[in-house]
Amino acid sequence: MPLTPDEAARTPRGEETRARILAAALGLFRAQGYDATTMRAVAEAAGVSLGNAYYYFASKEHLLHGFYAQSHADHLEAARPVLARERDFRARLRGVLLAKLDTSEPYHRFAQLLFGAAADPESPLNPFHAMSADVRRQAVALMADVLAGAKAKVPADLAARLPELLWIYEMGIILFWVHDASPGRARSRVLVDRTTELVARLVKLASNPLLAPLRKAIVRTLDDVARDPSAAAEPPPGGEPAGRRPVQG
Amino acid sequence: MPLTPDEAARTPRGEETRARILAAALGLFRAQGYDATTMRAVAEAAGVSLGNAYYYFASKEHLLHGFYAQSHADHLEAARPVLARERDFRARLRGVLLAKLDTSEPYHRFAQLLFGAAADPESPLNPFHAMSADVRRQAVALMADVLAGAKAKVPADLAARLPELLWIYEMGIILFWVHDASPGRARSRVLVDRTTELVARLVKLASNPLLAPLRKAIVRTLDDVARDPSAAAEPPPGGEPAGRRPVQG
DNA sequence: GTCTATAACCGGATAGAC
DNA sequence: GTCTATCCGGTTATAGAC
């Protein structure tokens, strides 16, 4: 049973075929959405057989994985100038989030689906899931950068957790954006505008000695809880379980 | 084209058949999960034909709708004693959330799927979606009750928004719970324990005059944003669109 | 209006030959 | 690595019975 060469040895030709399939899929997803795009259409557009498409991507969902990577790369690129220019925490945060919305806009319809898959813990696409740990780490790292490059003073205990908190906040923004039907997603941009200011004020408040007890309580809770919330059952060493996702979809 | 009698005229016999199908589905979902449960199996377990099952439930997803209703009814029931007994805000909130976890526990595996569907704005199951507005309203109403029955003093502007905020908080708890693989979902219970205390402290702080400007800014943002975040395109009056969910799934 | 039975369509996924 | 053939299950359609 030759499994798909997900991260495994890749020949140059295989690599090219794989890329062609992914590109075809992303193009169709963007043009028609996810459901309307059949694996058969993807295969045809890529000029390969249906079976061959499945050789490279174990399921239709796995094709979405390529989207995450692409999306984050685009985001990094768009955020670069902001991070280079701004030193104010709020300005950095705001710029990075708006960059996220900008780069995601062409995929708005499609992103809804992503969020659906992302909420399913069994899905390999779930950002909490081990397989996507990489994507999540990178997103958190970006928030760490937002913070590190700012002149804001943040208590050490909070600073350790803040990037993760900001990432969760970013997820919330994206969730709103996904549901946002306003023209040009204007309301999402307003939301970023408003809430980044609030976040900045809260972070500033966190240094207030009067609020130290509360801050410490919050950080302690985070510490206790942050031990990988998705520490799900390890996959049995040396092989896939008998059926993949045997129970839930 | 006779459509399914969703809210429409129901004869007693039809009502009974409908209930039998739903019960069969919920049982199978709970026992085997969603994917593993075929519509054919549901029909067989309910003692009806496949066609008949589709006569009552337009799609497999629609069966999930029954779950929301059942789940909330169970929650209300379990929360009743707590709400009758406790007057302390934090105790009420904690009791209600733990009741939610308790009543949801048998459906833990299955609930993951629900969350997947819930994140999809096109899905009729999405709690933000109009079709489920009812379910959401009820959940928010429960939180309003948590607040109203408590002796806590909350500034009026915040009090108006707090039930919704608490509901979002509840959603976050559920999201964590869905991903919680600890035995007996112990970590989720700890999370409720810890965070309800933090929430109570925050609510108490909200009355502090020193923090009034921040509170007002937050409430104003909420007011501006709360104008139905999912005000998606109205469905064309007088009929279903040509294809349902033509683009996204 | 409620229901059965059956056949068919469609698309995701798999098996096994080349 | 790639293909063709096939399976499986959600969904639809039809035709008719109570």
Amino acid at B233: A
pLDDT of residue A2: 41
Partner residue facing A229 (CB), from B36, B179, B221: B179
The vertex-A121 CA angle with A117 and A123, nearest 5°, equals: 50
The vertex-A22 CA angle with A81 and A7, nearest 5°, equals: 90
Mean pLDDT of B6-34: 81
Q: Does any CB of chain B come closer than 8 Å to the CB of residue A133?
A: no
pLDDT of residue A22: 93
Q: How far is CA B117 from CA B34, B127, B144, B249, in A?
A: 12, 9, 26, 9
The footprint of strand C (CB < 7 Å) covers A 1, 35, 37-40, 50-51, 54, 58-61, 244; B 2, 5, 9-11, 13-14, 16-18, 47-52, 55-56
Tell me the C-alpha distance between B158 and B171, whole Å.
19
Lowest model confidence (mean pLDDT) among A66-75, B67-76, B229-238? B229-238
Which residue has 């205390």 as its token pair? Answer: B197
pLDDT of residue A132: 65
Mean pLDDT estimate for chain B = 82
Give the model confidence (pLDDT) of A98-130 as tens digits.
Answer: 999 999 998 887 776 666 555 565 665 565 554
Is the model's pLDDT at B107 over the cut of 60? yes
**A3: confidence class by pLDDT, cuts 50, 70, 90:** very low
Largest CA distance in chain B: 66
Is the model's pLDDT at B114 over the cut of 70? no
Q: How far is CA A133 from CA A126, A240, A241, B119, B120, in A?
A: 9, 18, 20, 20, 22
Cβ–Cβ < 8 Å for A31, A93: no
Which residue has 């507005």 as its token pair? Answer: B133
Mean pLDDT of B132-149: 89
How many inter-chain contacts (A to B, CB under 8 Å) are there? Answer: 136
Q: Strand D: which of residues 51-90 in chain B lie with Cβ below 7 A? A: 51, 54, 58-61
Tell me the C-alpha distance between A51 and A61, whole Å.
16
pLDDT of residue A127: 56
Report all structural domains of chain B as residue ranges with CATH numbers, in order of start: 1-58 (1.10.10.60), 64-226 (1.10.357.10)
| Interacting residues of B50 by C-beta distance below 8 A, sequence separation 6+ | B39, B40, B43
Tell me the C-alpha distance between A144 and A146, whole Å.
5
**B146: confidence class by pLDDT, cuts 50, 70, 90:** very high
Q: Report DSSP state, residue B233.
A: P
pLDDT of residue B10: 64
pLDDT of residue B110: 78
Is the model's pLDDT at B228 over the cut of 90? no
Long-range contacts of A10-19 (CB under 8 A, 24+ apart): A14/A56, A17/A46, A17/A48, A17/A52, A17/A56, A18/A56
Is the model's pLDDT at B170 over the cut of 80? yes
Nucleotides of C under 7 A from a protein CB: 1-7, 10-16
More confident residue, B124 or B164: B164
Quick one: which of B122, B221, B136 has its CA closest to A172? B221
CA atoms within 13 A on the CB side of A143: 20
Is the model's pLDDT at A240 over the cut of 80? no
Lowest model confidence (mean pLDDT) among A67-71, A182-186, A207-211, B242-246? B242-246
Mean pLDDT estimate for chain A = 83
Quick one: which of B149, B140, B36 has its CA closest to B88? B149
Cβ–Cβ < 8 Å for A160, A179: no
